[in-house]
Each structure stands twice: as structure tokens, then as C-alpha cells.
């Protein structure tokens, strides 16, 4: 079926999956011991974030810098491919797969809009004809710098990125799927919304 006037926008972490994928990905690439060592060093920032005294994107940069600064982007993508094959399938909500397959059968154009990096999502998402709008990491000379490129794809930035990527006037049917307050700006663009739908 031709995919023309139907659009579905999905959050990924916690909506399609049973929880966050960034921390499991760090543990997968660095090992649990190295993850714990880094988490201890980052704990003051984690505590500040937990009491809303430190922004989400800054904490994310701290994690990216700690665990991935200096890594070749090609190595990150290789880890992402393996994580998507070995770990991610066990984190996917079965009801989400049912809904995704149904939307594909109805001719929906599918997008994942996520604050995570696409390296460990795209290899899985391509199996379902998803396109991805995600947080980008800065890369110089093939190496990860530890900084976010542009803005973290969360909250209002999700809405902004969708509007840059798509002309929503071209879609008669727009359905959105999310599970946190950070998805509400994205869901505001949709004619039909489903909040925590696969639990």
C-alpha cells in the first residue's frame, strides 16, 4: 500500500521498549564495572538532575563525554548494530510490535522521534520501515567529541524537529505514541494520541 497521507510518530524509550536504552547500551559497550565506576563519578550530577536542579541535556552530555568521547563513530555504529541484534529484541514490548505491523499494513509512514542516538535504534527500526529523528552527537574527524550536536531531541525539540522534517499538512491521519511529559509537545501535533499504550 502506498504510504501517503498517514503518519505515525513514536517515542522509543519506554514506549516501544520496556525502559530506557541508553544505560543498557553503555553497559553493553563498556561493561557493568566500567559503567558503575563512571556512574559514581557522575553521581553528583545525577542527584542534581533528580531534584530538577540540572538539565536533562547537560546530564546526557556528561554521560556521552564519560563513556564515548574519543570513540570512532564507526565503532559506535558497530556496537549499535550488535546491541540492536542481541539486546534490543528483549526490551521491545510485544503489543508495540502488533501495533507497528498493523500500521504498516494500513500504509502509515512511521517515524521514531527519540532523545537517544540512532546508532543502536536504526538497525532494529529499519526492519519495520521506520525513519528516525534523534539526538545527534558531535563528531570531528570521525571521533565522538562528547557533545550533543544541536539540541537534545526531547520535549519542545521533538516538535521542532518534526516540523523541520515533515510538512504535516500533507497528512490526513496523524497518530502519536508516547509515555512521558517529554512527548507531550510531539503528541500535540497529532490528531490521535496514545499515551503508555502498550503496557
Please spell the DSSP secondary structure of 146-193, one letter per residue. Answer: EEEES--SSTHHHHHHHHHH--GGG-SEEEEEE-SGGGHHHHTT-SEE
Range of the domain at 157: 6-195
* Helix (H) or strand (E) segment spanning residue 137: strand 136-140
For 133-170, how does the pLDDT look when each residue is reduced to its tens digit (9 = 90+)?
A: 999 999 999 999 999 999 999 999 999 999 999 999 99
If one counts the domains in the chain, the total is 1
pLDDT for 183: 97
Note whether residue 1 is domain-resident.
no
The cell for 193 is 494520541
> Which residues are registered as beta bridge partners of 109?
7
Our measurement of the distance from residue 71's CA atom to the centroid of its chain's CA atoms, rounded to an integer in Å, reads 20
pLDDT at 87 over 50: yes
Percent of the chain with pLDDT over 70: 98
pLDDT for 4: 73
State the pLDDT confidence band at 2, using cuts at 50, 70 and 90. Answer: very low
Note whether residue 41 is domain-resident.
yes
Cβ(7)–Cβ(108) below 8 Å: yes
CATH number at 114 reads 3.40.50.1000
Note whether residue 169 is domain-resident.
yes
Average pLDDT of the residues of the chain = 96
- Give me the phi and psi of 3, to 5 degrees please: -95, 100
Cβ(158)–Cβ(186) below 8 Å: yes
CA distance 119 to 84: 9
Note whether residue 155 is domain-resident.
yes
pLDDT for 117: 98
State the pLDDT confidence band at 6, using cuts at 50, 70 and 90. Answer: very high
Rg (CA), the chain: 17
pLDDT for 69: 98
CA distance 132 to 121: 8
The cell for 72 is 570512532
The cell for 136 is 545527534
Give the other-Cβ count within 10 Å of 161's Cβ. 19
pLDDT at 3 over 60: no
CA distance 151 to 115: 10
Amino acid at each position: 500500500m502506498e504510504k501517503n497521507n498517514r503518519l505515525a510518530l513514536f517515542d522509543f524509550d519506554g514506549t516501544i521498549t520496556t525502559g530506557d536504552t541508553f544505560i543498557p547500551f553503555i553497559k553493553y559497550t563498556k561493561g557493568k564495572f566500567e559503567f558503575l565506576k563512571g556512574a559514581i563519578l557522575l553521581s553528583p550530577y545525577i542527584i542534581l538532575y533528580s531534584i530538577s536542579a540540572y538539565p536533562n541535556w547537560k546530564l546526557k552530555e556528561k554521560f556521552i563525554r564519560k563513556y564515548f568521547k574519543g570513540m570512532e563513530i564507526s565503532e559506535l555504529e558497530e556496537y549499535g548494530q550488535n546491541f540492536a541484534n542481541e539486546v534490543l529484541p528483549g526490551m521491545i514490548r510485544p503489543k508495540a510490535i502488533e501495533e507497528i505491523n498493523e500500521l504498516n499494513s494500513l500504509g502509515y509512514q512511521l517515524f521514531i522521534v527519540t532523545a537517544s542516538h540512532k546508532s543502536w535504534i536504526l538497525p532494529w527500526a529499519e526492519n519495520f520501515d521506520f525513519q528516525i529523528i534523534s539526538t545527534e552527537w558531535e563528531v570531528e574527524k570521525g571521533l565522538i567529541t562528547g557533545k550533543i550536536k544541536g539540541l537534545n531531541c526531547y520535549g519542545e525539540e521533538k516538535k521542532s524537529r518534526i516540523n523541520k522534517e515533515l510538512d504535516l499538512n500533507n497528512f490526513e491521519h496523524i497518530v502519536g505514541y508516547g509515555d512521558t511529559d517529554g512527548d507531550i509537545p510531539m503528541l500535540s501535533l497529532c490528531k490521535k494520541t496514545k499515551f503508555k499504550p502498550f503496557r
